[in-house]
Amino acid sequence: MRRWLAQGVIGMLFAVEVVTGAQAEVGFSWQWSPMGPYGGEARRLAVDPRHPDRVFVGTCDGQLYLSEDGGEQWTRLTGFHRPGFCISRILVDAEDSRTIYVAGWQVSVEQGGGIYRSRDGGRTWTLLPGTEMHSVRALAQAPSDPRVLIFTALDGVFRSEDRGESWRRISPAEDLEIRNVESIAIDPRSDQTLYVGTWHLPWKTTNGGRTWTKAGSRETGIIDDSEIFNILIDERNPDLLWLSACTGVYRSTDGGRSWRRMAGLPSRSRRVLALAKPVGQRDVLFAGTTEGLWRTGDGGATWRLITSRRLTVQDIALHPQRPQWVFIATEEAGVWISRDGGMTFRPSNQGFSSWVITGILPDREIPGRIYCGVVGGGLEGSFFISEDGGRSWRARSLRGVRAILQSRRDGRRLFVLTEDGIFLSEDRGESWRKGPPLEEVISQIAEASDGGLLVLTSRALLRYDESRGGWERVRSVDGQSLAALHVGRRIWIVGQGRIWMSEDGVSWVERALPDRVGRVHVILEHPSDSDLLFIGTSFGLYRSRNGGRDWERCAHGLPHADVVAIAVHPNDPRWMLVTDYRTGAVYLSTDRGETWRRIDETVGARAWVGAFDPHDGERVFVGSRGMGVYMGRRSVQLVERENSP
C-alpha cells in the first residue's frame, strides 16, 4: 500500500474576549437569531377564537410558535421551552385570548407530561398543579361553561371547574377500559355530557363521569381496536357525531348509539389522524390522514384528495370567522395553508423550524453558501443549500443526512453520509450520485490527502480504492466497537478503552485510555500540535499533551458534560468549542482548552453541531436538536466599572 496522509475538517468557533480599561470592561457577547431551514414536523395547531390572525403551532419537542399575520410569519415563543415534551393540544381560552393552555406528554417517560398555562399571551408559563404526572393526550374547554376544563391521559379522565386551578378524576381508577384516552369532545348543551376515545373504542358519560357507557363497538358499527384520534360534535345538532380512527371516519346521528363508517376514503388512507368541520357547514368535513388531506362536501359519501399524498397530516385548524382559511400541521413539511377553502395549499413556514440538524458546513470557497443536513427530511429531501448566508434554503433529494464533508482537494466535491449510504456530488450539492456500496454500517467519513474516501465502521477503518473499484481495510480491530475517527497530520481511531494512531495508514501504535473517561464520542488532534489530543466522552472532555500516553480531564469552567462535538477555530487555534449532548450547552475556550465559559445562555436551542463562517469572522452557525439552525453574531459590550480608590 502506498504511503498517504489523511485530512479532516476543522469545526466551528465561538469567541469571547475581554479587554480591561480604566473606566469600563470591553467584551464580546453573542446575538442569536434563527435562520432555518424552515419546516420540519408540526404537531398541533390552534387559532385564536377572537383574533383569527393569531395562530399557534407546537412541536413534539416542546417548542411553541406564534403567527400574528394568519400563518405567513412565525416567531418562537421563547418562554415555552420544554425539550422532550410532545405537545398534544393548544387551547386558547374562549373568553380571554391572553390565557393559553398547552398540554402534552414526555416522550421518554410513560407517565410524564402535564398542562402549562400562560396568562400573558405566551410570554410566561406555569405548570398546572395536579397535571404534572399525567401523559396528557387531549384537553377541552366546555362550550356551556368556559370555567370547566377536561383532560384525558393514559391513566384516565380528569376535570377542573376553576380553569385548571384544581383537578379531580372522573373516570374509574385502574379501569381496564377507560385508559389510554386519546381524544375528547364535550356536548355544547351540557358539560356533564362528554365523549372520550381510547386506543380501543369510544366511551360516553351523561352525568359528569359518575357512570360511563361504551359509545361504540363492533355491534354498533365501529371496528374493534379502533384507536379514536378525534371526536367532533355538530354545534347545531349535538346528536350528530363524527370520529376519526385508525380504521377510517365514522358518523353517528343518534348520540353514539350506532355508527356508520364512511366508505369514500381509500383503504390505504383510512388512518385518519385529524378531523375538522367548518362551523355552520353540516356536510363539509376535512380528514387528515397518513396520505394527505381529504375533503367531503356531502357528509362523507365521497371524498376528494386536496393535497399531496406524501403529506402526513397531524392536525387541522379552522376559524369560524374565516371558513376559507384552512391550516394543516404535517409530519414532514411544517405548516401548510389554504385561503380558498382547501382548493389550493402552499407551505408557510417562514420562521418555523423543528428540524434536528445533523450537519452544518459553510462552503470554504464561496461566501454565503452553506450546506445543512437534517434527520429524516421533508418532501424534497434532507440536504439543504443556502446561497445567501442562511436567509433562504432549497432542498435536495437525499434522505436522512448524517454527515457532510467538503473535499480539500476540490471544493466542488462533496460527500454525504445518509440513511441510504454514501452519496457524492461534483457540483457543490446540486446533483448527486450513489457512492460505493458497503455492507457494513458506516458511522463516520473522512478524506485522504489524495482525495480518497475513508469510512469508519464498528469493526474497521476502510478506504475506497477507485482504481480497483472496491474497499480495502486500512485497520481492523477484533473484539472492539470503534467509536470515533479523526484525520489530521495523523490518523486516530478510538475504541473501547483503546486508541490507535498512524502516520501513514500502514503502521499503527496502540495505546490505552484511562477507565474513567466513559464512552468516547469524538476525538480531535489539535491543528497546532499533533501531540495535543482531545476526546469528548460521556464523562466530560479529556486532554493528552503527549500523543495519547497520559490524559487529564479539562475543567475550569467545563462540567462533566456529555461532549459530542469538539471544534477549533481555523484561523486562531487557541479558540475551541465543545457541546454537551445532555443539555445542548456550548462552551468556549480561548486558551487551547485550559479554561472554559458557557456562551449559549440566550439561545436555548440545544446546539450540538455547528461551524464558523470562514468568510465572516463575526458569524457562527449552530445546528440544534429540534429547532433548526441558529446564527450567532459577535458584538461588543461595554460594562462600566468603578475606579479603584
What does the pLDDT look like over 590-634, one tens digit per residue? Answer: 899 999 988 887 676 677 887 888 888 778 888 888 999 998 887
- Average pLDDT on 250-268 reads 90
Q: What is the pLDDT of residues 505-537, one digit of tens each?
A: 899 999 999 888 889 999 999 999 999 999 999
> Distance between CA atoms of 380 and 396, rounded to whole angstroms?
6
Each domain of the chain, given as residue ranges in start order, spans: 6-33+355-640
Task: Quickly state the pLDDT bin for 22 (edges 50, 70, 90).
Answer: very low
Q: Residue 264: is it exposed, middle or buried by C-beta count within 10 angstroms (0-12/13-18/19+)?
A: middle
> Distance between CA atoms of 172 and 408, rounded to whole angstroms?
66
In 3D, which of 522, 637, 634, 623 has the Cα closest to residue 575?
Answer: 634
DSSP per-residue string spanning 370-426: EEEEEEEEETTEEEEEESSTTSS-EEES-SSEEEEEE-SS-TT-EEEEETTEEEEES
Three-state secondary structure call for residue 259: coil
Task: Quickly state the pLDDT bin for 27 (edges 50, 70, 90).
Answer: low
Please give the pLDDT value at position 29.
Answer: 81
Please give the pLDDT value at position 1.
Answer: 39
Q: What is the pLDDT of residues 436-447, one digit of tens each?
A: 999 999 999 998
> Distance between CA atoms of 445 and 467, rounded to whole angstroms?
19
In 3D, which of 74, 81, 1, 3 has the Cα closest to residue 38?
Answer: 74
Three-state secondary structure call for residue 268: helix
Please give the pLDDT value at position 257.
Answer: 95
Phi and psi at residue 383, to the nearest 5°: -115, 125
> Distance between CA atoms of 534 and 96, rounded to whole angstroms?
55
Please give the pLDDT value at position 642.
Answer: 54
C-alpha cell at 292: 394527505
Q: What is the pLDDT of residues 553-589, one digit of tens each?
A: 999 999 989 999 888 888 888 888 888 888 888 888 9
C-alpha cell at 401: 443526512
> Distance between CA atoms of 438 and 95, rounded to whole angstroms?
61
> Distance between CA atoms of 159 and 164, rounded to whole angstroms?
8
CA distances from 294 to 22, 231, 265, 312 (A): 69, 17, 8, 11
Q: What is the pLDDT of residues 345-361, one digit of tens each?
A: 999 999 999 999 999 99
Q: What is the pLDDT of residues 370-400, one digit of tens each?
A: 999 999 888 889 999 999 999 999 999 999 9
C-alpha cell at 559: 462540567
Phi and psi at residue 516, to the nearest 5°: -75, -10
> Distance between CA atoms of 22 and 165, rounded to whole angstroms?
54
Q: Return the CA Rg of the chain.
A: 28
Answer yes or no: are the C-beta atoms of 242 and 249 closer than 8 Å: yes
Task: Quickly state the pLDDT bin for 21 (edges 50, 70, 90).
Answer: very low
C-alpha cell at 524: 480531535
Phi and psi at residue 93, to the nearest 5°: -55, 135
Instruction: Return the HEC string of 411-472.
Output: CCCEEEEECCEEEEECCCCCCCEECCCCCCCCCEEEEECCCCEEEECCCEEEEEECCCCEEE
Three-state secondary structure call for residue 286: strand
Answer yes or no: are the C-beta atoms of 325 and 339 closer than 8 Å: yes
> Distance between CA atoms of 561 and 544, rounded to whole angstroms?
18
CATH architecture observed for domain 6-33+355-640:
7 Propeller (2.130)
**Full-model pTM:** 0.89
Alpha-carbon dihedral angle through residues 422, 427, 430, 436, given to the nearest 10 degrees: -20
Three-state secondary structure call for residue 8: coil
Please give the pLDDT value at position 467.
Answer: 78
DSSP 39: B
> Distance between CA atoms of 352 and 548, rounded to whole angstroms?
44
> Distance between CA atoms of 328 and 313, rounded to whole angstroms?
6
Does 20 have pLDDT greater than 70? Answer: no
DSSP per-residue string spanning 181-250: EEEEEE-TT-TT-EEEEESS-EEEESSTTSS-EE---TTTT--TT--EEEEEE-SS-TT-EEEEETTEEE
- Average pLDDT on 67-77 reads 96
Burial 449-475 (b: 16+ CB within 10 A, else e): eeebbbbbbebbbbbbeeeeeebeebb
Q: Residue 21: is it exposed, middle or buried by C-beta count within 10 angstroms (0-12/13-18/19+)?
A: exposed
Please give the pLDDT value at position 10.
Answer: 30
Q: Residue 531: is it exposed, middle or buried by C-beta count within 10 angstroms (0-12/13-18/19+)?
A: middle
Which amino acid is located at 455 in the chain? V
In 3D, which of 59, 149, 41 has the Cα closest to residue 95?
Answer: 149
Q: Average pLDDT of the chain?
A: 90
- Around Cβ 165, how many Cβ atoms within 10 Å? 13
Please give the pLDDT value at position 265.
Answer: 85
Q: Residues near 241 by Cβ (< 8 Å), separated by ≥ 6? A: 185, 195, 231, 232, 233, 234, 251, 252, 253, 255, 256
> Distance between CA atoms of 288 and 434, rounded to whole angstroms?
35
C-alpha cell at 127: 405548570
Please give the pLDDT value at position 13.
Answer: 30
Residues 47, 51, 52, 58: is their CA dihedral positive or negative?
negative
